[in-house]
Amino acid sequence: MADRVGIVAAAQTKYEAAKPWHHLSDLVLEVTDKVIAETGVSLVDDVESVVSNSQDHWDGRTISSIFIPDVTSFHLKDESKVAGDGAYAILYGAMHILSGDHRLVLVVSHCKESHTDGKMIENWSTDHIFHRMLGLDYTIGGAMQARRYMDKYAITREHCAKVVVKNKGNAKNNPFAQEWAKLTIDDVLKAEMLADPITALDAKPISDGACAILLATEELAKKLTRFPVWIKGVGNCYDAHFPGDRELADCDALIAASNAALEEEVDAYEAIMNGLAAGMEKVGQLYNEQEYFVPELLVCADALYAGLDILKPHVKGSDQHIKLKVVIGTVEGDIHDIGKNLVKVMFDAAGWTVYDLGKDVKLERFAEEQQRTNADIVAISTLLTTSMLAIPKVIEMVKRKNPNIAVIVGGAPLTRDIARSYGADGYAPNAGVAVQEAIDIINRREKNQKS
């Protein structure tokens, strides 16, 4: 078994609406030549296996890889074709290396979409009894799903148009990209409507082109390039797209991933913290970088909760603190509750009784609920700099009713120093350490009372 797989070279053709003067093999030759030139390896002697990626439908014939053996030199060596997503081809190439069978694998992907009537091909790939006669193609399928998402998450066309403006703008950074444009939201909204709500600017263009990467074992990768890109891990979760068979706005992929984690006996706590929470952190980062917008956040939050529902019951609890009780909530004016809910899961898992007030909670409710439940601790969350000013008020209300009640706070704008200055007894930067912080406070109190 090889240790790691490295990408040692990558190449693309320019993508264009049509390349009438290029045969498919010309495109493949162009990118293969580039990766070979970059690394100086011999296509015939060094490359041990070729994984090509293309679709018979798009190439208008069966065995679409049959065009390219002379340019990729895969005669008399290991050759395979992946018909489907290019990511699978990379995954498959990486498996060739990880299995220990090969040291250097060429992965090449090619398509001349302009050759065919794309809409017809797409229509033919749908179910032939119910959907084909309706004239469904990928744009119409995408439109139905987009409508359902818009309805479920109150997403507007303006929200969606923002994604187009960003992506067409970003395309300028890729010299191989087919279309880049400096658009406004209005341009997108006024573009030709293909299938409501998908406009010509939302939809993908017809595109011809090819790309290639060269994968190598760790040892070889270090020799071939000073800067290999390491494949750290691979995995995939795809949703089926059979209309009528599924709720179009549900994100079943994370449900499947959570179930798979349990089946593989991954610790549920690890899956929540290193999977769901880490994923949401990444989502937050992408939002800050203006790569994601509000619609993506809402979809991801929903997906996270679906995963949480599956994993939560499996988090190993301890009955050590079974008698302890905590009141938790996000302060008034703030509707962020993902972080608060993760903290809640951790208290739940540790055997505490949790009274969850939810989000946007009226300030006096924290003290009232503590009195009603006689909870040991009040946990307050906030993500907004505007609403964080509510925290000292809540602490004051809780302590006025009972000075012995401990308060723990958390949320992105807070630090330990701010928490202290607000009069909080504890602070935790993440859910993983929140329960321990609460236990420490209680232990300290008990110790002080004894002495």
Among positions 177, 194, 234, 294, the unique one binding ligand B12 when judged by CB under 6 A: 294
CA-to-CA separations, 359 to 161, 191, 210, 258, 344, in angstroms, rounded = 30, 39, 49, 25, 12
Q: Is 333 in the site for ligand B12 (CB under 6 A)?
A: yes
Among positions 113, 122, 202, 337, the unique one binding ligand B12 when judged by CB under 6 A: 337
176 neighbors 13 (Cβ within 8 angstroms): yes
Q: Which of 7, 390 has the CB closer to ligand B12?
A: 390
Site for ligand B12 in 424-443 (CB under 6 A): 428, 430-431, 434
Q: Is 188 in the site for ligand B12 (CB under 6 A)?
A: no
Q: How far is the CB of 348 from ligand B12 (least distance, A)?
A: 14
Residues sharing a CB contact under 8 Å with residue 148, sequence separation 6 or more, in sequence order: 247, 248, 249
Q: Which of 285, 320 has the CB closer to ligand B12?
A: 285
CA 244 – CA 166 distance, rounded (Å): 32
Residue whose structure tokens are 């068979």? 245
Site for ligand B12 in 384-403 (CB under 6 A): 384-386
Listed ranges 168-176, 179-187, 382-390, 398-406: which one lies at the site for ligand B12 (CB under 6 A)? 382-390
Q: How far is the CB of 166 from ligand B12 (least distance, A)?
A: 16
Q: How far is the CB of 350 from ligand B12 (least distance, A)?
A: 13
Q: Is 280 in the site for ligand B12 (CB under 6 A)?
A: yes
Tokens of 405: 């009640």
CA 133 – CA 361 distance, rounded (Å): 52
CA 144 – CA 73 distance, rounded (Å): 43
Q: Is 334 in the site for ligand B12 (CB under 6 A)?
A: yes
Tokens of 127: 């179910």
3 neighbors 231 (Cβ within 8 angstroms): no
Among positions 287, 368, 392, 445, the unique one binding ligand B12 when judged by CB under 6 A: 287
Q: Is 379 in the site for ligand B12 (CB under 6 A)?
A: yes
Q: Is 418 in the site for ligand B12 (CB under 6 A)?
A: no
Q: Is 358 in the site for ligand B12 (CB under 6 A)?
A: no
Q: Which of 316, 326, 298, 293 is nearest to 409 (CA)?
A: 326
Q: Which of 390, 434 has the CB closer to ligand B12?
A: 434
Q: Which of 119, 445 has the CB closer to ligand B12?
A: 445
Q: Is the dihedral of CA 277, 283, 284, 285 positive or negative?
A: positive
Q: Which of 52, 382 has the CB closer to ligand B12?
A: 382
225 neighbors 40 (Cβ within 8 angstroms): no
Amino acid at position 105, single letter: V
Q: Is 303 in the site for ligand B12 (CB under 6 A)?
A: no
47 neighbors 73 (Cβ within 8 angstroms): yes
Q: Which of 66, 64, 88 is nearest to 75 (CA)?
A: 66
How many residues touch ligand B12 (CB under 6 A)? 38
- Distance from chain centroid for Cα 178: 25
Q: Which of 217, 387 has the CB closer to ligand B12?
A: 387
Among positions 339, 357, 376, 422, the unique one binding ligand B12 when judged by CB under 6 A: 339
Q: Is 332 in the site for ligand B12 (CB under 6 A)?
A: no
Q: Which of 299, 310 has the CB closer to ligand B12?
A: 299
CA 210 – CA 52 distance, rounded (Å): 11
CA 120 – CA 58 distance, rounded (Å): 10
Q: Is 329 in the site for ligand B12 (CB under 6 A)?
A: no
Residue whose structure tokens are 């033919």? 124
Q: Is 277 in the site for ligand B12 (CB under 6 A)?
A: yes
Amino acid at position 320, single letter: Q
Q: Which of 169, 413 has the CB closer to ligand B12?
A: 413
Q: Is 159 in the site for ligand B12 (CB under 6 A)?
A: no
| Whole-number CA gyration radius for the chain | 28
Q: Which of 236, 436 has the CB closer to ligand B12?
A: 436
Q: Torsion over CA of 351, 355, 356 and 357, rounded to 10 degrees?
A: -170
Q: Which of 146, 441 has the CB closer to ligand B12?
A: 441
Tokens of 436: 């321990």
Q: Which of 198, 254 has the CB closer to ligand B12?
A: 254
Residues that bind ligand B12 (CB under 6 A): 277, 280-281, 284-285, 287-288, 294, 297-298, 301, 333-340, 342-343, 379-381, 383-386, 408-413, 428, 430-431, 434
